[in-house]
Amino acid sequence: MSKVLAFAGSNSSISINYELVSYVAGQMIDEDVKLIRLTDYHLPMYQIDHEDSRGFPQDLENLHQEIKAADALIISVNEHNGMISSFFKNVLDWLSRIDRNFLASKKVLLMSTSTGEHAASFARAYVETAVERYKGELISSFGFPSFHTNFDSEKKEITNEALELGVKDTLSQFQQEITFN
């Protein structure tokens, strides 16, 4: 059984990316999955002066330990103006300072969603390169378009049959990769 850590790169209390990652994490069978909210880890805006004078925040140490304890990650990223959110960029900046290769030996399922048809594709593309930069192994990456059209938030289910099959197939491949490799 693999240990999987799941989170969204959003700090919104009504994050559709958190809804998506929560749904996908709930579909994992026979894995030890831990779903977290990055907003529970309070990190100031990264600044070298802060790091030099105060060191690493305790919440950063805690988040880093969560990642280190996991075999694999499921991440859903949001997009602000064609880029990852400043919130998630800040998290990545801090993590890369505590450990440049903080994703080493981690298998990653990356996804993104938005209210539009492009499914935060620019942010997802940025994080695809970041996963490699921080020495993670990107197993799969997909976009979930038009979230409110294709997902029922009350029932917590995908309403578009083709998307549901695609998510299930991607998740099955991811589970095979983390279980047998």
* pLDDT tens per residue, range 117-136: 999 999 999 999 999 999 99
Separation between Cα atoms, residue 18 and residue 6, nearest integer Å: 9
pLDDT (tens digit per residue) in 72-99: 999 999 999 999 999 999 999 999 999 9
Task: Summarize the chain as % helix, strand, coil (round to 5).
Answer: 45, 20, 35
Separation between Cα atoms, residue 124 and residue 110, nearest integer Å: 7
Separation between Cα atoms, residue 34 and residue 49, nearest integer Å: 33
Is the predicted pLDDT of residue 181 greater than 80, yes or no?
no
Is the predicted pLDDT of residue 138 greater than 70, yes or no?
yes
Q: What pLDDT does residue 68 have?
A: 98
The answer to pTM > 0.85 is yes
**Domains of the chain, first to last:** 3-180 (3.40.50.360)
Do 85 and 115 touch, CB atoms closer than 8 A? no
Name the pLDDT band for 29 (thresholds 50, 70, 90). Answer: confident
